[in-house]
Amino acid sequence: MTTETHLDPAVRHDMVFLFDVADGNPNGDPDFSNRPRMDEESGHGLVTDVAIKRKIRNTLPLAANDPDRYSIFVEAGHALNTRLAETMTVNNIDTKKKRLTDEELHTARSWLTHRYADIRLFGAVLNTGDTKALGQIYGPLQVTNARSISPVVPQHHTITRITQTTQADIDKGERTEMGGKWTVPYALYKAEIYYSASRGTQTGVDTRDFELLYRSLEMMFDHDRSATRGTMTARGLYVFSHDNAFGNAPAHKLTERVRVARTGDTAEPPRNFPDYTVSVDDDALPNGVTITKLIA
């Protein structure tokens, strides 16, 4: 059976992912009272790679419904050392050994990459606690920070609550409590995702991993709703696939073919997706490169 090129784990892929936010905070900065992250020099909004990968981690298990292969390693409420020790126990490897045989190392790491989808895709640091001999796994999937197409002007909203946190405040006659939250009125963000086939071979990435990754990117904002984040929507996913593991062209020469431009009155700030036009130059692609438009 022939595998569609964009699902082939044996070849390199370079991707462009577009998403937007309306009246929400896509990624707050704890160093600035949770204000939306920004490039302070240019004013462009930022969403970190960590935030994007967190949403993928949260969505993959829902889409897969297969805990034996799509469990998540970096998960709230679960200690990493405990999960790392499990592979040593399951495979009867002594955790006290400072150096493992090549066979023991392969067995322990393969158990982790098979069970945990985020290790298989993003890699992980494994040399903590009693598992220092496991080293680390370099993931085949690398995600960049997302940057807004236009500068953003975050807005701070003061809000009130009709009850107090403590009884003492109520006894003093206070009736409301003040708070606040930040939002971005509108922003369209662009991130790039790169897949290394050589590393994917090492971690055991397969065709279903790609199917679920693309599905998660398309639908992950639907499973991450909150009043703080406003409305977030996937707007574009373009996959440039090579016909070999090394690649046929530099990544930037491909990802730069996806262009986003303002439409209409550019003197007015953008407030919705139709304020932009997305175009893709798919003419005269380098030999051996194909493009798949999964969200367009």
Residue indicated by tokens 């439409």: 263
Mean residue pLDDT across the chain = 93
Is residue 182's pLDDT more than 90?
A: yes
In the predicted model, what is the mean pLDDT of residues 189-198? 98
Identify the pLDDT of residue 2.
55
Residue 169's pLDDT band (boundaries 50, 70, 90)? confident
**Residue 210 pLDDT level (bands cut at 50, 70, 90):** very high
Using the predicted structure, report yes or no on whether residue 178 has a pLDDT greater than 90: no
Both tokens assigned to 18: 């577009």
pLDDT 10s digits, 241-275:
999 999 999 999 999 999 999 997 888 999 999 99
DSSP one-letter string for the chain: -PPPGGG-TTS-EEEEEEEEEEEE-SSEEGGGTTEEPB-TTT-EEEE-HHHHHHHHHHHHHHHH--TTTSB-SS-TT--HHHHHHHHHHHTT--TT-SS--HHHHHHHHHHHHHHBHHHHHHEEE--STT-GGG-EEE-SEEEPPEEEEEE---EEEEEEESS-SSHHHHHTT---EEEEEEEEEEEEEEEEEEE-HHHHHHHT--HHHHHHHHHHHHHGGGGS--TTT-EEEEEEEEEEE-SSSS-SS-HHHHHTTEEEEE-S-TTSPP-SGGGEEEEE--TTPPTT-EEEEEE-
Q: What is the pTM of this model?
A: 0.93
pLDDT tens per residue across span 21-79: 999 999 999 999 999 999 999 999 999 999 999 999 999 999 999 999 999 999 988 98
What pLDDT does residue 276 have? 97
